[in-house]
Amino acid sequence: MKILFAHNNFPGQFHRLAVELAADPANRVVFLSHHRRNDINVPNVEWIQVPLPAEEQTPSPARKKYLTLLAQGERFADAMVSLAKQGFRPDIVYGHVGFGCCIYAPDIFPDAAHMGYFEWYYTNNADTKFFSGNRPVSLTTKAENRQCNMCTLSALKECVLGIAPTYWQLNQHPQEFAQKIHVLHDGIDVQFFSPQKTRGLKLKALDLSHAEEIVTYATRGLEPYRGFHTFYRSLPSLLAARPKAHVVIMADDRSPYGGNRKDGKTWREVLREEVQIDESRVHFIPFQPYDQYRALLRASDVHVYLTAPFVLSWSMLEAMSCGCLLVASDTEPVLEVIKDGYNGFITDFWNHENLAKRVAFCLENKDKLDSVRALARKTVLAKYALHKLLPRHVALVRAALYQKQSQL
């Protein structure tokens, strides 16, 4: 087979699938993206960088989002046309639909089987309603959501089949297209993310070998979508209740999902002005390579994961796979996985005092909660293990090709 992947970032959610397909010498795997991660090994995959489009100049946020998606699609289309001129005719085109990468792909490669990775469909409920509270959702926000969905709707029509990583994420999409989308998580490498309890924590960027209690929080960015505001506000009460505890926050100081604040400040800057904490016991480090990130999870006494009703992070499942004692938010993507008191503990997303109490409880009783840790890992082994899900993913790729060929 000839497989063409398209994603804003290389390798993204296609990492393990691309490696698996490229390991077969009968296959040729090509990957188009704007950006790439150099710390991830993806052997035998041909990577082609797609230039970023110029920034759209328009005063309308909704219009800017849509024009940016179309401009990205045009850049990817240029790369696809170039491949076609070189004689490359993929059997499969598999793209992340939310970035507009493949909006023109069916016209360039009409005989290919087109697959989509359907990570999110924006509605005026879910995350939008969650942050607006009782206030009506503005017309501007509704317009932005509609614009963001246009590439997804096009992909739903054109694709042979698609993948959504969780049932929660599937259920955001229009029901008339739901039969095209299979629920299949990307998979967690349970051999790599495995328990190995250590005393204290020693990273290249931080030495807490002396720490008796370590609370961890790890995410791509410090923003409300991942509950950073609630977590930060919980710290004074938590540190007062647990005087020997240290808190490690591994994240970059940015807002990848919610966007930048209008005042130009980061959420860390704003919260530091609002909340007084003992900074000698709260340690911020940028997001680290996988070996350092795993070391953080393995050293954790309690791991905190908070999210709005949005995309479920790999990090929660990776923490569970490492046997972390998890305190997580009472939001839909989490509740699909976590049962309170069974394989983790649930807390109100907005209630920072309750979060502090739940984390303090777990620290106080950490030696009595080994069964919760074990069941967290057992959950991942049963439902999210890469070695079980990857063959199903490969089978769906082949099914898409067979389905397309039967239509020709």
Same domain, 175 and 230: no
pLDDT band, residue 59 (cuts 50/70/90): low
Poorest-pLDDT segment among 64-68, 154-158, 281-285: 64-68
Same domain, 212 and 224: yes
Residue-level pLDDT at 197? 83
Is 193 domain-assigned? no
Q: What is the mean pLDDT of the chain?
A: 95
Residue 260 identity: N
Is 195 domain-assigned? no
What's the CA gap between 364 and 356, in Å, rounded? 12
Same domain, 161 and 279: no
Residues of the domain holding 217: 201-383
What's the CA gap between 251 and 232, in Å, rounded? 13
Instruction: Note the pTM of the prediction, 2 decimals.
Output: 0.95
Prior bond of 11 cis (ω within 30°): yes
pLDDT digits (tens, 9 = 90+) for 85-111: 999 999 999 999 999 999 999 999 999
Q: What CATH number has the domain bearing residue 138?
A: 3.40.50.2000
Q: What angle do CA 18, 24, 27 make, to 5 degrees?
A: 75
Short-list 404, 400, 391, 311, CA closest to 116: 400
Same domain, 170 and 229: no
As a whole number, mean pLDDT of residues 64-93 equals: 95
Is 400 domain-assigned? yes
Same domain, 244 and 181: no
Residue-level pLDDT at 395? 98
Same domain, 153 and 219: no
Q: Is the pLDDT of residue 237 over 70?
A: yes
**355 versus 257: which is more confidently predicted?**
355
Residue-level pLDDT at 60? 74
Residue-level pLDDT at 125? 82
Same domain, 210 and 161: no
What's the CA gap between 329 and 139, in Å, rounded? 29
Is 64 domain-assigned? yes
pLDDT digits (tens, 9 = 90+) for 113-145: 999 999 999 998 877 778 877 788 888 888 888
Same domain, 301 and 391: no
Is 320 domain-assigned? yes
Same domain, 222 and 257: yes
Same domain, 355 and 392: no
Residue 224 identity: P
Is 135 domain-assigned? yes
Same domain, 353 and 282: yes
Residue-level pLDDT at 39? 85
Is 275 domain-assigned? yes
pLDDT digits (tens, 9 = 90+) for 177-211: 989 999 999 999 999 999 998 889 999 999 999 99
For the chain, the three-class secondary structure string (H helix, E strand, C coil) is: CEEEEECCEECHHHHHHHHHHHCCCCCEEEEEECEECCCCCCCCEEEEECCCCCCCCCCCHHHHHHHHHHHHHHHHHHHHHHHHHCCCCCCEEEEEHHHCCCCCHHHHCCCCEEEEECCCCCCCCHHHHHHHCCCCCCHHHHHHHHHHHHHHHHHHHHCCEEEECCHHHHCCCCHHHHHHEEECCCCECCCCCCCCCCCCEECCCCEECCCCEEEEEEEEECCHHHCHHHHHHHHHHHHHHCCCEEEEEEEECCCCCCCCCCCCCCHHHHHHHHCCCCCCCEEEECCCCHHHHHHHHHHCCEEEECCCCCCCCHHHHHHHHCCCCEEEECCHHHHCCCCECCCEEEECCCCHHHHHHHHHHHHHCHHHCHHHHHHHHHHHHHHCEHHHHHHHHHHHHHHHHHHHHHHC
Same domain, 72 and 138: yes
Is 196 domain-assigned? no
Residue-level pLDDT at 222? 97
Residue-level pLDDT at 271? 97
Task: Please tell me the total count of domains within the chain.
Answer: 2
